[in-house]
Structure 1
Amino acid sequence: MEVRLSNQLPDYPSFIAGIRRAPDRGYSLTPAQTETALKNALRYIPEELHETLAPEFMEELLTRGRIYGYRYRPQGDLKAKPIDQYKGNCLEGKAFQVMIDNNLCFDIALYPYELVTYGETGQVCQNWMQYRLIKQYLEILTNEQTLVIESGHPLGLFRSRPDAPRVIITNSMMVGMFDNQKDWHVAAQMGVANYGQMTAGGWMYIGPQGIVHGTFNTLLNAGRKKLGIPQDQDLRGHLFVSSGLGGMSGAQPKAAVIAGAASIIAEVDSSRIETRHSQGWVQYVTADKAEAFRMAQEAMQAKEPISVAYHGNIVDLLEYAEAQSVRIDLLSDQTSCHAVYEGGYCPAGISFAERTELLSHDQDKFCSLVDASLRRHFEVIRKLVGRGTYFFDYGNSFMKAIYDAGVTEISRNGVDEKDGFIWPSYVEDIMGPELFDYGYGPFRWVCLSGKHEDLVKTDHAAMDCIDPTRRGQDLDNYNWIRDAEKNRLVVGTQARILYQDAEGRLNIALRFNRMVRDGEVGPIMLGRDHHDVSGTDSPFRETSNIYDGSNVMADMAVQCFAGNAARGMSLVALHNGGGVGIGKAINGGFGMVLDGSGRVDEILRSAMIWDVMGGVARRSWARNANALSTSAAFNEKYDGGYHITLPFIPKEDLIQHIVRTSLKHKS
């Protein structure tokens, strides 16, 4: 067995006009580092091709800031095919090929030619040589081997066993003293670091649908908590404003319409607007601020939902709203601020084309404009909040970017960012206490047959597993899956997102595996967003409602990854960065192929509960009230097989008295 690229030089692929291209990421290597980067890329290439490809790779590095190996990209659109059209020695090997191609197809990927799935920089792997080798490995992978992927590089196949993971992935796991954006940028240029985001490098992205249920939950619960909307009503008559129509942010207008709101989403890139408009994820498009608010106001008066894409900068839109005294009920932002200086945030005052030009030719000026725009953005939000708008950070590192731009008054403690910021993260205020602390999170599945009828059958089966009378969250989730087909959520292959707690996920997974066993549907890939109860440690997002000081610790995400590997999930992934940037989060996820076997049933019974309850246990230990009650009920129900350590809670007046008295004596 030999896995290597052919010594036949592939034809250089053509690039289809109108397909988005990543901007120049910037070249900043020393001559010695440049030599290493070139050698690193050429080690994938048979020696007889080095003289031909070395100049090509060097040109890519100088003009794109990366070596993508464009020559090795397959021609055309990499749409996911039905699983039986892929080569493979095991079902998992074929299933992962479906998922990779789905991540890179034109309908889904943000920059498909640069292997970027979403989030401005989130890649499946670093270059097309890695892609080709990974595909080769997956075609020969057996159920007694594990493929190891390190920052996009396929390290090799290693013997394991059928109940071990078939693929283990890590991305950009940098050593602490080098775990920062500057050193990561050098490593990425040298071809040794891949920014996996979350489900891009974990091969589990399912298009904007992957976040739409979470956005729906966030908006609906924000309305209930902040606007006084009853449990049985929606956001009709209320206005939501945000920005971003990319891979994840593109879910905002669809989620707002499903929640009943009037929404205006600003986006500077016309191609992203066109993508979401043509896919039916946003209803109307305008470059006129007054018209955008007029359409929204008319819909609000009629108590009808509407989504409007405003082609322009969010700062300009908000400054107009503030000047015209337009009331905005709910306000957020979903620009890619984890990559704020890499093009993820377009400064006010310049066009998207000018942004791309500055990234290539004057990065210092671009960074200065970003900082100035963030300061303006902060000021207008502060004015709107003062008038009654509820603003929440959507976990995109927006407030951290403002802080880093020199706006220290956004810090909650007035000293640093450790205690968060003056406005809440959506997890801190809404998703954490209302969903994560109970164990509800973004469960998802893909029907690998590619048949829409399989997806419809799984929707009905999942709905049958939900008791809508148990909690308000269950009623919301029941209604969501009931209406999923009507809401036309699929982009790419046949996939679904559904928030569920630990038992809900297990029950649905076992039901699906039985359906596969009985021949009702083809094989299914289970997974979840890394943005989940247990999957991510991120003090500015997933763990922002952890107040015991452990919000800066990454033990939970690492333990979740290790536990899923030990229990035999088909694929396990662990990444640095995610939606908030390098050094600001550790996140992990899984993929589980359902083949109908009893072996899979046993893995599900062990792994699905662990994957969720490890995070609930950590949140309970942090004294989160809903996690405490959930953990106590779990201990009672599963007595003998599981037990979560529960904290004792001291009285507040005792703690305050001891601290005040002791510090007074010390001084």
Structure 2
Amino acid sequence: MADETEPKVGRAGARPVRAPHGTELTCRGWAQEAALRLLMNNLDPDVAERPDDLVVYGGNGRAARSWADFDAIVATLRRLDDDETMLVQSGRPVAVFRTHEWAPRVLISNAMIVPEWATLEEFRRLEDAGLTMFGQMTAGSWAYIGSQGILQSTYETFSAVAAKRFGGTLAGTLTVTAGLGGMGGAQPLAIAMNGGAALCLEVDQAKITRRMRLGYLDVQAQDLDHALSLVLAARDERRALSVGLLANAAEALPEIVARDVPVDIATDQTSAHDPLLYAVPDLSPEDAADLRVHDPKTYVMHARTSMADHVKALCELLDRGTEVFEYGNGIRVEADLGGFKRAMDFPGFISAYIRPLFCEAKGHCRWIALSGDPADIAVIDAAMLEEFVDNESVTRWLRLAARHVRVQGLPARTCMLGYGERARASRIINDLVRDGKVRAPVAVGREHLDSGSVASPYRETEGMLDGSDAIADWPVLNALLNASSGATWVGVQHGGGTGIGRSVHTGMVVIADGTPLAALRLDRVMTNDPGSGVVRHADAGYQRAVEFAAEQGIRMPSLDAATEEESWTTRP
């Protein structure tokens, strides 16, 4: 018997979409079942921002192009065989082909546009014509898990800030930021977990309420005076506290600067990647809605002017000694287009804090319990704590996560693991499934934000040592390699994070179902996928990546032509 009744499929407002739980299959195999459950999980009302509109996060990142396409994807997954592959073109299932058991069950491409036409205006025209959709990063590739997914990378980023500037802790510091949506909603808890006080500006009351309900935000302030009294008291007492304020950052941040508030760290995670999504303070909601539909060019002009004011305030804080960084939403380039020419004076978070980790392929691995049972995550946590007992950063995070991370939709965990570690973790998970220690198979994957899977000159590949910021061969090679290595599904996408025309990125998922074949697929993918990140950075000239590739036996004939023949004939 099934553990749960099968969820209804359709418009989330009338019939909420929730992933099946339990151990009974609704598809012909666990690979297909996993794809179906994660697709539905993306639209779970506890996970998605606007499930009625198929929008998962990021303002306009969708799981499928239309409800008819969603229904067709679900129907196809339910009858897909173990040697067939479904092709999904920008959220629409377009074909099923006979392949083989090692091939991915699903291949996804979202919003890929020929470069000369890769503009927001052309994308909107194509989207309005029903020809494409924006997949953000993990929305259109069916791997979004709510703030439980982004929390660790946010935590690690602020931990890196603490190590760089504040003696390893944010205790006694004040961070001011904005945006409490699907990505930004992790900021207040991540800052508090590092010991700091956080003031988080947000224009949408529903998002503030949601973050408080999910335990990511401590309190909402009545106004700016109240907010500042709360966070400054916490700062002075070296007490962790997160405060939300209903306000527009383009207005509130200049006021904070004018008041000479002692801000230690400042960043932003508003939906700046698409100016139509940025809330303009001098427009009423009615006027804004009308302009978005009838005169989008004028709205974009207003939005970029507001972003210029927003970023100007950040630069004024920078001049006062505040640690300022862009959190990858493209606001600097939009502010530059709005006329503020100092917008690039502060760095993006990858170049500032994360790139040394990328040289050793350290990134955010994730596992999702398809059973829907949080006890499965607890079992895996315990196994990982034992396996990585000598890795203080991993064990610290897993203990923090067990206390602070609340389940949204299917239970999941993220963990920063490097080359070799991801394959070890995957073997452990597959063995737990094989031995019946977890109730059902587990989906294993990673963030799109990873060392070898993104070309994004304003974020992941900003300021590459060799100037290769915009070279997009790397994510494409990463996707091809993952498909060849046995990933269960692979997605190639355009525009996530920083917006249309500014990034190409890829993701993958592999299913641990306890079988010997799954063990082989997991080992191949979870070795080769991070390995491509080491290669990408070694090729760009990062000495640590060059050394690490040699230490790990990753063959790179381009680095040493003298040993090319040996490297291709001798397996390490």
TM-score (ref. length: structure 2):
0.93
Q: Which residue of 2 aligns with 1:507?
A: 424
Question: Contact conserved, 1:236 with 1:260, CA < 8 A, in 2?
Answer: yes
In structure 1, how many angstroms separate the alpha carbons of the residues matched to 2:158 and 2:316?
A: 21
Q: Quote how far apart the aligned CAs of 1:315 are.
A: 2.4
Q: Which residue of 1 aligns with 2:299?
A: 366
Q: Quote how far apart the aligned CAs of 1:353 are.
A: 6.1
**Counterpart selection for 1:427 from 350, 360, 369:** 350
Question: Contact conserved, 1:429 with 1:545, CA < 8 A, in 2?
Answer: no
Q: Which residue of 1 aligns with 2:555?
A: 643
Find the residue that maps to 1:250 and give its secondary structure.
Answer: helix
Deviations 1:522-541 (A, max 9, x none): 21001111111111111111
Q: In the TM superposition, what are the counterparts of 1:605-616 in structure 2 within 5 Å?
A: 605-616=523-534
Q: Quote how far apart the aligned CAs of 1:475 are.
A: 2.1
Q: Which residue of 2 aligns with 1:116?
A: 55
Q: Quote how far apart the aligned CAs of 1:84 are.
A: 3.5
Question: Contact conserved, 1:287 with 1:312, CA < 8 A, in 2?
Answer: no
Question: Contact conserved, 1:269 with 1:352, CA < 8 A, in 2?
Answer: no
Question: Contact conserved, 2:495 with 2:501, CA < 8 A, in 1?
Answer: yes
Q: Which residue of 2 aligns with 1:208?
A: 147
Structure 1 unmatched runs, 5+: 1-12, 14-69, 411-420, 469-473, 636-641, 649-667
**Counterpart selection for 2:244 from 304, 309, 312:** 309
Deviations 1:463-497 (A, max 9, x none): 222243xxxxx422220012211113322211111
In structure 2, how many angstroms separate the alpha carbons of the residues matched to 1:74 and 1:375?
A: 37
Answering whether residue 491 of structure 2 is matched by residue 573 of structure 1, we say yes
**Counterpart selection for 1:552 from 470, 474, 487:** 470
Find the residue that maps to 2:493 and give its secondary structure.
Answer: strand
Q: In the TM superposition, what are the counterparts of 1:123-134 in structure 2 within 5 Å?
A: 123-134=62-73
Structure 2 unmatched runs, 5+: 1-7, 561-572
Q: Which residue of 2 aligns with 1:622?
A: 540
Q: In the TM superposition, what are the counterparts of 1:405-554 in structure 2 within 5 Å?
A: 405-410=338-343, 421-433=344-356, 435-468=357-390, 474-521=391-438, 522-554=440-472
In structure 2, how many angstroms separate the alpha carbons of the residues matched to 1:486 and 1:593?
A: 27
Find the residue that maps to 1:539 and give its secondary structure.
Answer: coil
Deviations 1:111-149 (A, max 9, x none): 111111000111111100000000000100111111111
**Counterpart selection for 1:283 from 218, 229, 240:** 218
Q: Which residue of 1 aligns with 2:200?
A: 265
Find the residue that maps to 1:349 and give its secondary structure.
Answer: coil
In structure 2, how many angstroms separate the alpha carbons of the residues matched to 1:364 and 1:339?
A: 12
Q: Quote how far apart the aligned CAs of 1:71 are.
A: 8.1
Aligned residues: CA RMSD: 1.9
Query: For residue 396 of structure 2, what is the amino acid of its counterpart?
Result: N
Q: Quote how far apart the aligned CAs of 1:610 are.
A: 0.9
In structure 1, how many angstroms separate the alpha carbons of the residues matched to 2:309 and 2:338?
A: 11
In structure 2, how many angstroms separate the alpha carbons of the residues matched to 1:239 and 1:645?
A: 48
Flag the 1:503–1:174 CA change in 2: closer, same or farther, 3 A.
Answer: same
Q: In the TM superposition, what are the counterparts of 1:350-389 in structure 2 within 5 Å?
A: 350=283, 355-389=288-322
Find the residue that maps to 1:614 and give its secondary structure.
Answer: helix
In structure 2, how many angstroms separate the alpha carbons of the residues matched to 1:162 and 1:327?
A: 59
Deviations 1:382-433 (A, max 9, x none): 21111111110101111111122232343xxxxxxxxxx3211000110112
Flag the 1:215–1:72 CA change in 2: closer, same or farther, 3 A.
Answer: closer
Answering whether residue 181 of structure 2 is matched by residue 246 of structure 1, we say yes
TM-score (ref. length: structure 1):
0.80
Q: Which residue of 1 aligns with 2:326?
A: 393
Deviations 1:330-354 (A, max 9, x none): 11010111112x22x1123345565
Flag the 1:440–1:351 CA change in 2: closer, same or farther, 3 A.
Answer: farther
Query: For residue 445 of structure 1, what is the amino acid of its counterpart?
Result: W
Q: Quote how far apart the aligned CAs of 1:371 are.
A: 2.3
Question: Contact conserved, 1:465 with 1:504, CA < 8 A, in 2?
Answer: no
In structure 2, how many angstroms separate the alpha carbons of the residues matched to 1:71 and 1:103?
A: 13
In structure 2, how many angstroms separate the alpha carbons of the residues matched to 1:372 and 1:403?
A: 9
Answering whether residue 482 of structure 2 is matched by residue 564 of structure 1, we say yes
In structure 1, how many angstroms separate the alpha carbons of the residues matched to 2:81 and 2:417?
A: 32
Q: Quote how far apart the aligned CAs of 1:565 are.
A: 0.4
In structure 2, how many angstroms separate the alpha carbons of the residues matched to 1:447 and 1:386?
A: 46
Question: Contact conserved, 1:215 with 1:252, CA < 8 A, in 2?
Answer: yes
Question: Contact conserved, 1:212 with 1:252, CA < 8 A, in 2?
Answer: yes
In structure 2, how many angstroms separate the alpha carbons of the residues matched to 1:145 and 1:314?
A: 49
Q: Quote how far apart the aligned CAs of 1:85 are.
A: 5.2
Which of these two proteins has the greater Rg computed from alpha carbons?
1
Give % identity.
Answer: 30
Question: Contact conserved, 1:237 with 1:300, CA < 8 A, in 2?
Answer: yes
**Counterpart selection for 1:192 from 131, 135, 158:** 131
Question: Contact conserved, 1:620 with 1:646, CA < 8 A, in 2?
Answer: no
Q: Quote how far apart the aligned CAs of 1:157 are.
A: 1.6
Answering whether residue 68 of structure 2 is matched by residue 143 of structure 1, we say no
Find the residue that maps to 1:508 and give its secondary structure.
Answer: helix
Query: For residue 515 of structure 2, what is the amino acid of its counterpart?
Result: S
Q: Quote how far apart the aligned CAs of 1:370 are.
A: 1.1
Deviations 1:270-325 (A, max 9, x none): 11111111111101112411211111111122221111111101122222221221
**Counterpart selection for 1:152 from 91, 95, 106:** 91
Question: Contact conserved, 1:632 with 1:646, CA < 8 A, in 2?
Answer: no
In structure 1, how many angstroms separate the alpha carbons of the residues matched to 2:294 and 2:117?
A: 27
Find the residue that maps to 2:184 and give its secondary structure.
Answer: coil
Q: Which residue of 2 aligns with 1:651?
A: none
In structure 1, how many angstroms separate the alpha carbons of the residues matched to 2:547 and 2:284?
A: 51
Query: For residue 457 of structure 1, what is the amino acid of its counterpart?
Result: V
Question: Contact conserved, 2:423 with 2:523, CA < 8 A, in 1?
Answer: yes
Query: For residue 387 of structure 2, what is the amino acid of its counterpart?
Result: C
Find the residue that maps to 1:199 and give its secondary structure.
Answer: coil
